[in-house]
Amino acid sequence: QCDLQGLWRNELGSNMTILALNTAGTFSGSYHTAVAATNKQILMSPLQGAQQHPGTKRYPAFGFTVQWQFSDSITAFVGQCFVDHRGKETLETMWLLREEVLSHKDTWKATRVGTSIFTRIK
């Protein structure tokens, strides 16, 4: 079974820590992004998430949000935890980064989307 708890790094060099899941499958942690869309100084930011069917699925689906402490934006990640035949775990995710715009007329440019793969570093 794939375990979300631990220290993970993605292809951008961002690091995140996911703390132990509770019995309901919800979890918290922290995210240190390597890059930003703003010019502000990057700060460690909290994450909150949930995993489906904790303890019963081999490759569980999960989602979490990161509430950036240095920008007005917020990111939602969804993904699945996989384990390969060597026991190597990866989190294969997609994300949406929503920025705050000052008018709904700017909604068209307010959301970025991407994919990200995290590997366990601890």
* Residue pair 31/45 in contact by the 8 Å Cβ criterion: yes
Residue 51 or 71 with smaller CB distance to ligand BTN: 71
Residue 38 or 119 with smaller CB distance to ligand BTN: 38
State the nearest-atom distance from the C-beta of 45 to ligand BTN, in Å. Answer: 8
State the nearest-atom distance from the C-beta of 26 to ligand BTN, in Å. Answer: 21
Residue 57 or 120 with smaller CB distance to ligand BTN: 120
The residue ranges that bind ligand BTN (CB under 6 A) are 10, 12, 14, 33, 35-38, 68, 71, 73, 75, 95, 97, 114, 116
State the nearest-atom distance from the C-beta of 58 to ligand BTN, in Å. Answer: 26
State the nearest-atom distance from the C-beta of 77 to ligand BTN, in Å. Answer: 8
**What is the rounded CA–CA span in Å between residue 71 and residue 90?**
28
Q: How far is CA 9 from the centre of its chain?
A: 10
